[in-house]
């Protein structure tokens, strides 16, 4: 945790460390408020099982959001993550279906994601195409490839091992009862949540303590200055897109594993949730600003909002409208803060 | 004495436009050379070539008498050539130590950033320039123009520059800060650093420079010891590209 909160001090936002902390505090407060409201409305909201559900649902968006944060810090954007998620998961599914061991298949899926990210990075830095357009192209290319490879049909019956990452849990306690049924004493910590935690801590460490992290902030803050200071700006940007792509691949594997089915249609519009997480968490689309802890709070705000509204029986359409307002509000509050 | 840097017959073309046209100049240890000229005369272009931000179309650069190729800002720094850009080239969201060491971060044994040591070193070098500098962990966007300039200068001198290129170092500064930069330039000169000073401020030029090189439409129109010319002479060089007609007459005695 100290690593995550350490970012705040070291890499101050445009309005300084106090402003950065303030934003994170207000986001955290919003999250607490949401939880309080939903808990008040429905006692089941605070149950362990529902908590785990939120954790599971948020882990995919959280992993995507972490990659997105790195890209946004450089002043870029990655619209392709939803499609890359689908392509990676699909490739993993096909390889596993063809007989490849699950870990190798998943590694290959993540590698496909990283390759898509590499392509994004090269198009942006070498062909000098803006990130918006380059990743919009990749969004179509990756989605089209996933659909073409599978004929748009889901790949099912992938076996128990394929489903373990998405459905398994650490420290799960199950007791055999005399009647032969098993009773879950403790549902355990879902693997996706553990993956999210590991990725978040690693990413926060990288941003805070490694030269690459420093260069990501510098590039987003002032690209020309970074170049003149001897920072390899192109390589820094490419690294951000490769990481974003690889994390999209990882998120794809978590999601498909949870469904125990490789779905080429999954992940549509996930990039927008990932961007929203980062922005609610205080990342600036102008570059130079953003933290992993902030993005995590943003991802959980979206996750809790979705889950709570679902439990309250609010339609998916209304949910979209509400999340739309939240994003605009979050950015507005952020601008008020930096304008003063 | 071997010059620190020699630029010989440098050319830079952009399509049909000759931004720099066969310019040669040199710089000796402990010498401050003013590089003057109108906007677009080619002086910034020439300096960008030396700092590695731009490659010459033709010509030769020697550092310490040896012919070298400068292909990037990184190369220039390896030869001890540091540049303070007019735009200050700072990453606004980062603090002073992060900016000072940008691209050359100090690392721990494990390859992690050594923020503690970078902070200490920054404190040391800034104390030398401006003892009142305290906001070390603030984002530099929150600092005043003078404080930002101090960081930019600190970045150049921390790494023991032999040659310093200063592009309008006082343009954004108030009087007190300008005086501070002036004092610093004199101090660096004493230490044997060679400085190219790009400036429009005649007062600064005559106060600080040992020699002026004037550029006009991509050509060098002359290199003069500062004692041999008056402000009017320099202005004439800048505007007309030539000394006033009576210059030789006025300086006849001294020239003999």
- Portion 202-221 of A in contact with B at CB < 8 A: 208-211, 213-215, 217-218, 220-221
* Residue B250 confidence (pLDDT): 75
Question: How far is the alpha carbon of B81 from chain A, nearest alpha carbon, in Å?
Answer: 12
List, for residues B173-225, the tens digit of each pLDDT value: 778 778 888 888 898 899 899 999 998 888 888 889 999 999 888 888 888 88
CA atoms within 13 A on the CB side of A106: 20
Report the alpha-carbon distance of residue A79 to residue A67 in Å, rounded.
11
DSSP characters over B77-100: HHTTEEEE-TT----TTSBHHHHH
- Portion 256-315 of A in contact with B at CB < 8 A: 288-289
Beta-strand ranges (E) seen in chain A are 169-170, 173-176, 182-186, 189-190
Across the interface, whether the CB atoms of B113 and A16 are under 8 A apart is answered no
Domains, chain A, ranges and CATH?
2-339 (1.10.3470)
Vertex A209 angle, CA A296 and A131, to 5°: 60
DSSP characters over A113-159: HHHHHHHHHHHHHTS---HHHHHHHHHHHHHHHHHHHHTT--B----
* Residue A18 confidence (pLDDT): 56
Which chain A residue lies closest to B99 (C-alpha atoms)? A218
Residue range A166-187: average pLDDT?
A: 81
Residues 6+ apart with CB under 8 A from B42: B12, B19, B20, B21, B23, B215, B217, B218, B219
List, for residues A56-110, the tens digit of each pLDDT value: 889 999 999 999 999 999 999 999 999 999 999 999 999 999 999 999 999 999 9
Report the alpha-carbon distance of residue A251 to residue A231 in Å, rounded.
30
Question: How would you classify the pairing of strands B5-14 and B17-27?
Answer: antiparallel
A189 beta partners: A170
Across the interface, whether the CB atoms of A214 and B83 are under 8 A apart is answered no
- Portion 30-49 of B in contact with A at CB < 8 A: none
User: Is residue B101 exposed (0-12), middle (13-18) or buried (19+ Cβ within 10 Å)?
Assistant: buried
pLDDT at A16 over 50: no
Least confident of A44-58, A118-132, B124-138, B201-215: B124-138
Across the interface, whether the CB atoms of A16 and B72 are under 8 A apart is answered no
Which chain B residue lies closest to A211 (C-alpha atoms)? B113
DSSP characters over A17-65: HHHHHHHHHHHHHHHHHHHHHHHHH-GGGGSHHHHHHHHHHHHHHHHHH
User: Is residue A219 exposed (0-12), middle (13-18) or buried (19+ Cβ within 10 Å)?
Assistant: buried
* Residue A99 confidence (pLDDT): 93
Read off the pLDDT band of B231 (50, 70, 90): confident
A175 beta partners: A183
ipTM of the complex model: 0.82
Domains, chain B, ranges and CATH?
5-255 (3.40.50.300)
Residue identified by tokens 């362990």 is A48
Question: How far is the alpha carbon of B186 from chain A, nearest alpha carbon, in Å?
Answer: 25
Which DSSP state fits B209? -
Report helix angle A211-221 to A233-259, nearest 10. Answer: 110
* Residue A114 confidence (pLDDT): 98
């Amino acid at each position: 945790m100290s690593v995550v909160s350490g970012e705040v001090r070291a890499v101050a936002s445009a309005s300084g460390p106090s402003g950065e902390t303030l934003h994170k505090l207000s986001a955290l407060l919003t999250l607490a408020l949401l939880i309080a409201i939903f808990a008040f409305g429905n006692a089941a909201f605070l149950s362990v099982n529902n908590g785990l559900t939120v954790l599971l649902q948020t882990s995919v968006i959280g992993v995507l959001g972490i990659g997105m944060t790195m890209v946004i810090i450089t002043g870029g954007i990655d619209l392709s993550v939803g499609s890359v998620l689908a392509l990676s998961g699909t490739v993993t599914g096909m390889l596993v279906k063809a007989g490849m061991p699950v870990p190798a298949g998943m590694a290959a899926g993540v590698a496909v994601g990283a390759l898509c990210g590499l392509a994004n990075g090269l198009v942006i830095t070498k062909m000098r195409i803006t990130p918006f357009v380059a990743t919009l192209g990749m969004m179509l290319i990756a989605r089209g490839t996933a659909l073409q490879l599978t004929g748009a049909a889901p790949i099912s019956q992938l076996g128990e091992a394929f489903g373990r990452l998405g459905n398994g849990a650490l420290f799960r306690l199950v007791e055999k009862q005399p009647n032969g049924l098993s009773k879950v004493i403790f549902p355990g910590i879902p693997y996706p949540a553990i993956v999210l935690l590991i990725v978040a801590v690693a990413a926060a460490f990288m941003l805070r303590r490694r030269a690459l992290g420093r260069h990501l902030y510098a590039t987003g803050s002032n690209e020309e200055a970074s170049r003149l200071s001897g920072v390899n700006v192109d390589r820094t940007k490419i690294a951000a897109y490769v990481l974003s792509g690889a994390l999209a691949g990882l998120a794809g594997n978590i999601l498909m594993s949870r469904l125990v089915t490789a779905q080429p249609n999954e992940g549509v519009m996930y990039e927008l949730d990932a961007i929203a997480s980062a922005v609610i968490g205080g990342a600036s689309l102008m570059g130079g600003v953003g933290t992993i802890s902030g993005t995590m709070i943003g991802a959980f705000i979206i996750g809790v909002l979705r889950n709570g509204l679902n439990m309250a029986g609010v339609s998916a359409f209304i949910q979209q409208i509400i999340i739309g307002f939240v994003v605009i509000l979050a950015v507005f509050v952020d601008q008020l803060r930096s304008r003063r | 004495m071997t010059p620190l840097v020699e630029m010989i017959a440098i050319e830079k073309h952009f399509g049909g436009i000759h931004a720099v046209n066969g310019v040669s100049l040199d710089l000796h240890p402990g010498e401050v050379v003013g590089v003057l000229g109108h906007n677009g005369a080619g002086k910034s272009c020439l300096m960008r070539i030396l700092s590695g931000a731009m490659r010459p179309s033709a010509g030769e650069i020697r550092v310490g008498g040896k012919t070298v190729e400068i292909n990037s800002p990184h190369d220039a720094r390896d030869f001890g050539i540091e540049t303070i850009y007019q735009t200050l080239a700072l990453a606004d969201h980062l603090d002073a130590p992060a900016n000072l060491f940008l691209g050359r971060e100090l690392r721990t044994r494990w390859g992690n950033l050594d923020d503690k040591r970078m902070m200490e070193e920054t404190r040391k070098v800034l104390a030398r320039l401006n003892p009142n500098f305290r906001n070390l962990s603030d984002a530099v966007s929150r600092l005043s123009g003078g404080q930002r300039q101090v960081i930019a200068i600190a970045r150049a001198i921390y790494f023991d520059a032999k040659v310093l290129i200063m592009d309008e170092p006082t343009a954004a500064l108030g009087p007190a800060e300008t005086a501070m930069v002036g004092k610093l330039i004199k101090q660096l000169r004493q230490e044997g650093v060679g400085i190219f000073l790009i400036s429009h401020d005649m007062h600064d030029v005559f106060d600080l420079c040992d020699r002026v090189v004037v550029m006009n439409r991509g050509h060098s129109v002359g290199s003069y010891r500062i004692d041999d010319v008056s402000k009017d002479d320099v202005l004439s060089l800048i505007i007309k590209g030539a000394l006033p007609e009576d210059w030789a007459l006025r300086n006849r005695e001294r020239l003999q």
